[in-house]
Chains A and B, each alone.
Chain A
Amino acid sequence: MRLSKICTIIIVITFMLLINPISIYADPPYTTVTEDRNGRLVYTQTAYEPILIIDNINTEEEKITLRDPEDIFIDKEDNIYIADTGNGRIVILDSNRNYIGSIGEGILKEPTGVFVHENKDIYVADYRNLKVYKFNNNGELLDSFGKPDSPIYGKNMPYKPKKVVVDKRGNLYIIGEGSTNGVIQLSSKGEFLGYFGPNSSKFSLKMLLQKKFFTEEQKAQLIKNIPPSPNNIAIDKNGIIYTSTQGIDNQQIKKLNVAGRNILNSKSYASKTIIAIAVDKNGNIYSVNQHGYIFEYDRQGNLLFSFGGSDMGDQRIGLLKNPSGIAVDSSGFLYILDKDRNNIQVYKPTDFAILVHNALNLFHEGLYIESQNLWGKVLKLNSSFDLAHKAMGKAYFKQQKYKEALIEYRLANDKQGYSEAYWEIRAQWLQANLPKIIILVIAISIGRVILRFLSKRYGFGRGLKRKMKKVKEIRIVSELLLTTKFLKHPIDSFYSIKFEKKASILTATILYIILFIEYIFVISNTNFIFSNVDIINLSIATECAKVYVPLLLWVVANYLVSTISDGEGKFSDVYKGTIYALSPYILFSGIIAVISNAITLTEKFIYHFSNQIIIGWSALLLFLMIREIHNFDIKKTFKNIFLTIFTMVIMIFIAYILFVLSRQVFDFIQGLLQEVKIRVQ
């Protein structure tokens, strides 16, 4: 679950933009979204419908209600166990939501976690008693697990069990409050086995600076940089442990192998306020967050569905006020515990969700071809369900239908898959066409030799040459072609700009425009496996700003700095010199963009290397430009560049301040006018 902050912000924004559509089908009070190829959330069919609420539970004698329940668990026979925290008991319902009984009354004080083993033993984490209890199915106490006395556990380490799961061998995995080292792992006899799957602590530049410059007192005031402890835990039928952690930017959900290492590597969105997780028999992961949003991921961590929402006085079935637990039964029904409303909401998977699940199951079992049919159906129902394209791509790939695979992977924005499929296609093509290519290359080189010979000997094509020369003599053309000269003779060329007036302002301006056009060409034509640009959502204004604002700042700042430090260059020289220094970009980046389309991820160094060359080259030319135009020595040139950059930063800073100030003044005046208007009325 890796995701940079910016991505999160973008997703939050998109979330906000997905505001209530036209009354699609107003049964559930929420919309359902899935993730598209670009990681954006898009609408999809209702995946889960809220069907009913369990609140008043009828026992034989009376009606009971839950009080601040904290956890819910469903066993293999679909019996439901609820940690009725406020009432100090575990309430058990059968699969038809009828009351079976309750256990632990008198023993439990604040049960916050409940788990039922395959052998029907019931484990309960009691937060107030600081113990994990083990009951048999009849509610008789079998064992209890207090704080381990092993020295490895640490004497000062708190033991406040909140949640518990148990693996097949009977080892306990306990989530303890403040247990920052990870999940507490105990053997079936209560011996401390170690910590499991710890979170790593965050590290940032700010912290580094604080560490460096803060006094001891100041440091003590800072919150200790300790890793967050996981807040919930689940275990699947294969004994794989899943944990959830709040307040971190990535890896909110972890799928831990035996060694305690996270094996979930997904870029899908996960919530920072995650409360609880559950795993179904197929390995699909469910989570619910503080705001009542429910997320379902497949076993690889791809977001399938997100739905739900916060009950902010809406009082509508399907919204949650303060969710505290989630569980899933064998038919895929979701049970979500609400500790403010003291109820359980039951969500039923729709036909669409079931279809997606079936397709996923076949796919993960390796039955790609069988799954393809179902994915086709999914796409019929929602053509933006891009996970289907990914699966289809893989299915085609396995069948060696690379062209179809390529198309599907492109639709799914799956760079790895696309690259692999392309590699195969290219290999096939090369195999088929290699002889032809070799012949073509030979033919061209022979042809060139012959042509040269002919023109030397018989003046073949002299007319064309003459015409070319004439064209080259046109002032603008020659000035534009000056860019090529920079590649061979940069120093001379700058000299010729400065003294021989070989470049005019007009040409430079044209070049600046060409630069922008080329920039757009590059971002829109680079192979998508190397770029992250979403063409459709480009705005001309921002792209323009991205290109021209830095250039303008550079030119102005450099001119200002140079005038002070005895630079010889005029403003027009800097203006012209800068764009000519960018000749490598103008000449080559377009070509590289085109070539990138024939490159796969295995050869990505070619692409990156050539781009670095262009950048390095341009930087070098800029350096030379400053030296030549202002007639500096090397030391002075460096100083000048440093000062220019510094000036640029200052300029941005001032612009920002001016902007903020002017806006405040504007707001103030507007407010004043508005108020006057109202008062007069």
Chain B
Amino acid sequence: MFNKKLLLVLLTVVLFINLSCPHFSYTSNHINDTEYMTNNYTLPEEKEIRVINNFIPENYEKVCESELLDIYINRKTLQMKIKDKRTGYVWDGTKEYEQVENENLNKTYKNMMQSPIVIEYFDKKNKLRKADFFSSEGVIKEFSNTSKGVKAVISLKAIDIQLSVHIELDNDRVSVTVPSNEIIEGKEYKIATIQLYPFLGAVKENNIPGYIFIPDGCGALIRFQEKGNRYDSPYVGRIYGIDEGISKKSIQANKVEPYQVTIPVFGMIHGTRQNGFVSIVESGEYNADIVAYQSGVITDFYWTTTTFVLREQYFQPTSKTMGGINTYQKERNNNDLKINYILLANEDADYIGMAKKYREYLINKGYLYIDKDLIESNIPLRLEFLGSEETKWLFWKKAIKMTSLKEMNDIIDDIYSYGIKNIVTIYRGWNKGGLHSNQPEKFPLERNIGSKKDLKVVKENLKEKDIPLYFYIDYTYAYKTSSLFSTRKDAARKISGDLIEPVLHNLQKTAYYISPKQTLNISEKDMTKYREYGIDNLAIDKTSNILFSDYNKLAKSTRKEAATVYQKLVSNYKDNGKEIALYTPNQYMFKSLDNYFDIPLYSSRYLFETDTVPFLQIALHGYINYFAPFSNYSASKEEALRLVEYGANPSFYLTKEPSYKLKNTASKYLFTSMYDDWKDTIIDQYQFVNNGLKYVINATIEDRQVLDGGVVKVIYSNGISIIINYTDNDYIYNGQVISGKNYRVFGGE
């Protein structure tokens, strides 16, 4: 009996080794275009062998099945395997002892890889320790069937912790849930983090071809590679950004921070267009990390999972001079922990399939919907204007005018006269004192940009042309105390009791975060003013992507509660007939969104990343109107091509006055913005992008093929496809020439 099992294992192992013999190196013959074979682009797919794994040990039993999947579970350990009936492929939720015993792993990792659950906990001395099912003497106390799957109660005796795991199956979706109220802790040991089936699909080096997808920027892949250079640490991305209510944001001089994780999604592929899964964290995502380990970081395995954070460690200062103690959150984050694994097979099994599944998820959740029956014939152009900004002047502060209302009006008229009719306008720095001055106090309008009357004139003019005018605001930062904002009552506080004072790049003044619970008061007061001034549309920055827990005793809120408040804030405005645009919003803000500004077009380009992919774009195109970040800083051909490839609408940040006037202000990063300098480029770039994207305005991205290094074909739902050629050389596709640094639209017309 045992021999038979061993034989089977051996057979699979041998099969594996044989099949994975041809090594896949990504240095191809296109040497001159090595630049396009880097992680700033997507690599062309290589031919891959068929991956096979159909081994299910005998101590597993099928506990539930759908038309597409079977779930097998070992009742004694809750180890899991998922069989995809479409391909016959078996996903190892956990590894078997035989699979890890000969690996170069320490005992902890050998245990962890076999365990359905990995926990970090604080011991009596506040020390963080790791535990898994085996090392902490886990037993399945209870095992029962539920309507859609099974429920198991796990007791980890050694650390006196008990929790229940619900596994449910629905068509192609496996969900794993740990309800918060079913987590029972003893007195001594407190849970810090939980990982569920962390080694689902873990791959050693490149024994199986494929990759991990992580939501870094617009999306990035970590392809499985053979041993090469080793990197120091895994990818860890806190979903919705660092919680500044607890942790300090580490900010380093002269560095541009990596992208924040705005969507709770990750995934893995075993054999491109063969097998894969995409994971969507549905609950508990407000306090969770997405992690991805590369082969070489601690183990030889590639693996990816979500770390749910139940208690966070933090530093409690006791004096001004850095003295203090390390401690952890006393109260547990009370959220159910839930991940959905959607399994992908055959042609759906790649990052495109993942994005499409995520799109479906968003539609089902009501986050995405088509509400515009209006059909545009040209893509929109986003023009942002800086009205005025605060500067130091001799001994005082004053607002310097950069673009008055009237000047903005003239510029729009000018652009309009060149036949660019679909414009989205955003006005910044309209508030009293200039952009970074009195917020949250905003009214009256800053004197040097014009009066209420001027605003009316501008509005009428834009209305005639059907151009929306957005006013730039945020409900997160406060620069000045006023009747609207007092630091005692309205400012957010850290868990340590200190005020959250976000570090403002190059701004030599203190700023605070507004307590989420107080933002509704402020916004209500603003609402009447908006009405009075005729401010119809709002472009909300920062509040759209900064999320923190607040320990202000008068207005305490968790991240989840804060997110709800922000959702309400936006939907209130929406109910009042205002259009809302958000800057790089986190997923929970997708709901009431008319325009998405500053969509990431790149990844953070970590050394271990091998590709950048437009995951976010594939998920959103056709549903949400999204705009690229400003092109002022890099209005090159390559940037324009990237806009076309990613379906992103062009954006510019403009002023009437020359930008050097901003040198001593908080807007000093805006070193090139004068309209007269930029006019020609704006028109050129818009025409260039519009000529391609105007054919696919309401279509969704259905497929994407990298034909060669730097040559990409994007296929839209309306039958149109665009081939983009980043290289300097012509590319011939089906007898058609796509010239270097250009693109071509196929189909339609």
Contacts and interface: CB of A to CB of B under 8 A. Distances in A.
Give the most central of B252, B600, B677: most A CB within 10 Å. Answer: B252
Interface in A374-433: 380-384
Contacts of B317: 674
Contact of A24 (B395, B606, B629): B629
A36 B27 CA distance: 42
Contacts of A538: 394-395
A15 B253 contact: yes
18 contacts: A17-B508, A18-B505, A20-B251, A20-B256, A25-B629, A26-B217, A27-B605, A28-B256, A30-B254, A30-B256, A45-B671, A55-B228, A313-B233, A317-B38, A317-B606, A380-B674, A381-B672, A678-B497
A45 B634 contact: yes
B229 A675 contact: no
Interface in A60-111: 63, 65, 96-98
A350 interface: yes
B392 interface: yes
A26 B229 CA distance: 25
Interface in A1-46: 15-31, 33, 36, 42-46
Give the most central of A65, A314, A668: most B CB within 10 Å. Answer: A314
B664 A537 contact: yes
Contacts of A28: 256
B255 A20 contact: yes
A337 B596 CA distance: 40
A97 B633 contact: no
Interface stretch (B28-36, B56-64, B281-289, B715-723): B28-36
A51 interface: yes
User: What are the 9 closest A-B residue pairs judged by CB atoms, nearest first?
Assistant: A671-B319, A540-B395, A21-B669, A380-B677, A383-B660, A675-B318, A96-B31, A52-B38, A317-B605
Interface residues of B, number: 67
Contact of B607 (A16, A316, A383, A524): A316
A65 B317 CA distance: 46
B255 A30 contact: yes
Interface in A193-210: none
A671 B318 contact: yes
Give the most central of B392, B508, B634: most A CB within 10 Å. Answer: B634
A522 interface: no
B421 interface: no
B229 A341 contact: yes
B25 A58 contact: yes
Contacts of B608: 315
Interface in A268-301: 293
A383 B672 contact: yes
Contact of B259 (A26, A45, A384, A667): A26
Given A20-B256, A23-B584, A318 B605 contact: yes
A384 B505 contact: no
Given A98-B31, A674-B318, A678-B316, A23 B629 contact: yes
Contacts of B25: 58
B418 interface: no
Interface string B477-507: 0000000000000000000010000010110
A318 B254 CA distance: 12
Contacts of A19: 251-254, 503, 505-506
A53 interface: yes
Contact of A384 (B34, B217, B508, B663): B663
B604 interface: yes
Interface string A333-349: 00000000111000010
Contacts of B634: 25, 27, 45-46, 350
B602 interface: yes
B659 A26 contact: no
Contacts of B256: 20-21, 23-24, 26, 28-31
Nearest to B23: A63
A18 B251 CA distance: 11
A670 interface: yes
Contact of A350 (B606, B636, B663): B636
A42 B663 contact: yes
Contacts of A381: 672, 677
Nearest to A524: B394
A671 B672 contact: no
Give the most central of A56, A539, A668: most B CB within 10 Å. Answer: A56
Contact of B320 (A15, A97, A671): A671
B249 to A, nearest CB: 10
Interface of B: 25, 27, 31-32, 34-35, 37-40, 217, 228-229, 231-233, 251-259, 316-321, 323, 391-395, 497, 503, 505-506, 508, 584, 598, 600, 602, 604-608, 629-630, 633-634, 636, 658-660, 663-664, 668-669, 671-672, 674, 677
Contacts of A675: 318-319
A569 interface: no
Nearest to B217: A26
A312 interface: yes
B233 A315 contact: yes
B323 A671 contact: yes
A44 B664 CA distance: 14
B27 A43 contact: no
Contacts of B677: 380-381
Given A536-B392, A678-B316, A309 B629 contact: no
A511 B82 CA distance: 90
A315 B607 contact: yes
A60 B630 CA distance: 45
Nearest to A96: B31
Nearest to A12: B253
Contacts of A316: 258, 604-607
Contacts of B606: 315-317
B221 to A, nearest CB: 15
Contacts of A380: 672, 674, 677
B258 A29 contact: yes
Contacts of A26: 217, 256-259, 600, 602, 604, 629
A677 interface: yes
Given A45-B633, A381-B672, A65 B229 contact: yes
Given A18-B506, A42-B663, A314-B255, A382 B671 contact: yes
A55 B505 contact: no
A315 B318 CA distance: 33
Given A15-B254, A18-B505, A678-B316, 4 more contacts: A27-B602, A96-B34, A316-B258, A381-B672
A535 interface: yes
A149 interface: no
A24 B35 contact: no
A532 B659 CA distance: 24
B318 A384 contact: no
A28 B255 CA distance: 9
B35 A52 contact: yes
A503 B284 CA distance: 79
A384 B32 CA distance: 36
Interface string A452-474: 00000000000000000000000
Nearest to B636: A351
Give the most central of A25, A313, A350, A540: most B CB within 10 Å. Answer: A25
B604 A29 contact: yes
A18 B663 contact: no
A27 B37 CA distance: 16
Contacts of A678: 316, 318, 497
Contacts of A33: 254
A22 B229 contact: no
Given A315-B233, A384-B660, A42 B668 contact: yes
Contact of B506 (A17, A25, A536): A17
A19 B505 CA distance: 5
B229 A56 contact: yes
Contacts of B600: 26
Interface in A528-585: 535-540
A500 to B, nearest CB: 39
Interface string A180-194: 000000000000000
